[in-house]
Amino acid sequence: MKQKRRKFNPEFKTKVVLEALSERLTLTELAQKYELHPNQITLWKREFLDRASEVFSKSDKAQKAEQDSKQETEELYKTIGQLKVEVDWLKKKLQ
């Protein structure tokens, strides 16, 4: 009988890693508590520490999204201005 691989969500992994970093329990105790292999916790901990600096830096995607947002805002303000001028012109013509 084939055993199905378990998948863990990022929240669970973070919880386990933070508990491992606090060092209140040994790695073996944590592994028993969460029904994991100690090597898995060590792997998650190493990955977490290696990528920790990314949390405080803006990613390329975030920068691109911010730039796109600014460009879209500028275009919308331009359209609003143009529409306001047209409405004012039409109001004058109707008087």
Structural domain count of the chain: 2
Is 69 found in the same domain as 52?
Answer: no
Give the pair of three-digit tokens for residue 92. Answer: 């004058």
Instruction: Give the model's pLDDT for residue 54.
Output: 79
- Tokens 């901990």, residue? 45
Say if residue 3's pLDDT is above 70.
yes
Q: How far apart are CA 35 and CA 25, in angstroms?
A: 14
- Range of the structural domain that residue 40 is part of: 8-57
Give the pLDDT confidence of 19-78 residue by residue, as tens digits.
999 999 999 999 999 999 999 999 999 999 998 887 777 667 777 888 889 999 999 999
Is 89 found in the same domain as 51?
Answer: no
Is 74 found in the same domain as 52?
Answer: no
3-state secondary structure 16-35: HHHHHHHCCCCHHHHHHHHC
Which amino acid makes up residue 11?
E
Position 14 confidence tier, pLDDT thresholds 50, 70, 90: very high
| pTM for this predicted structure | 0.58
In a domain, 2, yes or no: no
